[in-house]
Amino acid sequence: MIAIIDYGVGNLFSLQSSFAAIGEEAVVTSDEAVISQADRLILPGVGAFEDAAQKLRSSGMADVIKRETAAGKPLMGICLGMQLLFDKSYEYGEHEGLGLIRGNVRPIAEVIDKDLKIPHIGWNRLIVKKPSPLFQYLNDGDCVYFVHSYYAADCDDSVTAVAEYSAELTASVEKGNVFGCQFHPEKSGDVGLKILKAFCEL
């Protein structure tokens, strides 16, 4: 069973529907007992980093996530959920993340061409940098769907794929049993479902 962590931020039920489409049971929950019984965890997120980080901590979910991942349970952060895995974000100030993966979250405006639109929205090809079990069913040139204005930086040792948007932006990361996708698998059609399927097989 997959627990989609509900802390008041995220595209929860489309994720649940995506797991149902591949025949996997997923529950949307903020119940610590349910999360502890789950085989895998999903940390979703949309919106502002500071607000999401505060909700994670005030709900107690930050401590639960750290405990469960320390015990070896697979965790996937999606979009803002991926960004929360890092040490800090510089989105409208400086804010502490979960510190599960080394690195910082910075504005894409610092690295992309000035004439490109922000946020980065749309389909982009995944450029795989390192083998990952999440990519076992993908083909070269597969595209996924992004919506973001910030990206994970200072994290070269954990990057498994990037997307080209005049600069290489971190698309996915991995450290042990902790995984992150800047893109939205639940909005990425068959390719996204293949990534979720691979996660369920970890």
Give residue for tokens 């500071």. Answer: 50
Rounded Cα distance, 68 and 90, in Å: 27
Q: Which residues are catalytic?
A: 79, 184, 186
Give residue for tokens 């959920």. Answer: 81
Say what angle helices 12-21 and 189-200 make with each other, to 10 degrees: 80
Q: Are 41 and 169 in contact (CB under 8 A)?
A: no
Q: Where are the beta strands (DSSP E) in 48-177?
A: 75-78, 86-89, 95-96, 101-107, 120-125, 127-128, 143-148, 150-153, 159-164, 168-175
For residue 14, the 8-state DSSP code is H
Give residue for tokens 């200072």. Answer: 154
In 3D space, the residue among 128, 174, 173, 124 whose CA is nearest the CA of residue 148 turns out to be 124
